[in-house]
Amino acid sequence: MSYALQGSLLDQVEQVGLRSLAGAVRRTPLSRGAWVDLRPGWLTGADELFARLMPGGSGGVDWRGERRMMYDREVDTPRLLRFYSATERWPDPVLQQARSALSTYYADELGEPFTTAGMCLYRDGRDSVAWHGDREGRASTHDTMVAIVSIGSPRALMMRPAGGGESIRFTLGHGDLVVMGGSHQRTWEHAIPKSSKPVGPRISVQFRPHGIR
Ligand SMILES: O=C(O)CCC(=O)C(=O)O
Ligand SMILES: [Fe+2]
């Protein structure tokens, strides 16, 4: 009897879905009013979702190469991007579920819902993003949150105080959730460094409130 129950639970775990946030999110306070929340393994069925979101996958994501202003210069971003506004069709329903679960969990602290989904595809270890804060819009003056779900191959997400200082490393993959909050986007910086080791593709989905980027 208990075996049968276990079997059916295991089957469910392979489905694309979300585990709970309540009671499972661990906060690390950083300096200057910034903090990081971690919820490892938030997403279930991460491999299946990864396949849907990859180029040619059933999600139909039209990945784009882009140029971006960084430190007042326009640079080629060595990664592929697709930004989804609040109103357009998103490539998988679990992403809307994630947005609403995050909005509910952080409602009191954030005071507004998460709205958009920015997606990045790091094809291999040569793809990366340089040190930056997500400072466009109100993030340059106000506390906010950026929530990132990571799928595919694990990659290092680095953080350091803005302008330099000792960095901290999070290795993210397999449906892990990380949330950067408080003053993080203006007082700290984050980066995905290049990797000289062979590394497979990784997709990151960033949820942000309206007007933050
Ligand atoms: O890939 C990530 O997890 C981080 C992406 C990022 O920092 C950004 O696009 O602003
Ligand atoms: Fe960022």
CATH number of the domain that 50 lies in?
2.60.120.590
In a domain, residue 105? The reply is yes
- The pair of three-digit structure tokens given for residue 91, joined into one six-digit string: 């490539």
Query: Which stretch of 12-16, 131-135, 162-166 has the lowest confidence by average pLDDT?
Result: 12-16
What pLDDT, on the 0 to 100 scale, is given for residue 105?
98
Tell which atom from ligand 1 comes closest to the C-alpha of 190. Answer: 7
In a domain, residue 8? The reply is no
In a domain, residue 145? The reply is yes
Give yes or no for residue 195 CB within 6 A of ligand 1: no
Number of independent structural domains in the chain: 1
What pLDDT, on the 0 to 100 scale, is given for residue 63?
97
In a domain, residue 2? The reply is no
Residue 132 CA, ligand 2 centroid: distance in Å? 6
Residue with tokens 């509910």: 104
What pLDDT, on the 0 to 100 scale, is given for residue 213?
86
- Candidates 173, 129, 166; CA nearest to 150 is 173
- Among 129, 157, 189, the mutation site with the greatest number of ligand 1 atoms within 8 A of its Cβ is 129
Q: Is the pLDDT of residue 71 over 90?
A: no
Tell me which residue has its CA closest to atom 2 in ligand 1. Answer: 204
- Among 119, 159, 190, the mutation site with the greatest number of ligand 1 atoms within 8 A of its Cβ is 190
Question: pLDDT confidence of 81, banded at 50, 70, 90?
Answer: very high
In a domain, residue 164? The reply is yes
Q: What is the ipTM of this complex?
A: 0.99
152: exposed, middle or buried (Cβ count in 10 Å: 0-12, 13-18, 19+): buried
Residue 210 CA, ligand 1 centroid: distance in Å? 17
In a domain, residue 102? The reply is yes
Using CA atoms, how far apart are residues 23 and 131, in angstroms rounded to an integer?
Answer: 31
In a domain, residue 79? The reply is yes
Using CA atoms, how far apart are residues 134 and 136, in angstroms rounded to an integer?
Answer: 6
Q: What are phi and psi of 29, to 5 degrees?
A: -70, 140
What pLDDT, on the 0 to 100 scale, is given for residue 149?
98
What pLDDT, on the 0 to 100 scale, is given for residue 131?
93
HEC per residue, the chain: CHHHHHHHHHHHHHCCEECCCCCCCEEEECCCCEEEEEECCCEECHHHHHHHHCCCCCCCCCCEEEEEEECCEEEEEEEEEEEECCCCCCCCHHHHHHHHHHHHHCHHHHCCCEEEEEEEEECCCCCCEEEECCCCEHHHCCCCCEEEEEEECCEEEEEEECCCCCCEEEEECCCEEEEEEECHHHHEEEEECCCCCCCCCEEEEEEEECCEC
Tell which atom from ligand 1 comes closest to the C-alpha of 157. Answer: 3
**By the 8 A CB rule, do 112 and 209 touch?**
yes
Q: Is the pLDDT of residue 13 over 70?
A: no
What pLDDT, on the 0 to 100 scale, is given for residue 2?
47
Q: Is the pLDDT of residue 108 over 60?
A: yes
Tell me which residue has its CA closest to atom 10 in ligand 1. Answer: 134
% of residues, the chain, pLDDT over 90:
81
Q: 180 is in which domain, residue-wise?
A: 16-209
In a domain, residue 69? The reply is yes
Give yes or no for residue 185 CB within 6 A of ligand 1: no
This prediction has a pTM of 0.91
Based on its alpha-carbon atoms, the radius of gyration of the chain, rounded to whole angstroms, reads 17
CA angle 116, 121, 123 (to 5 degrees): 180
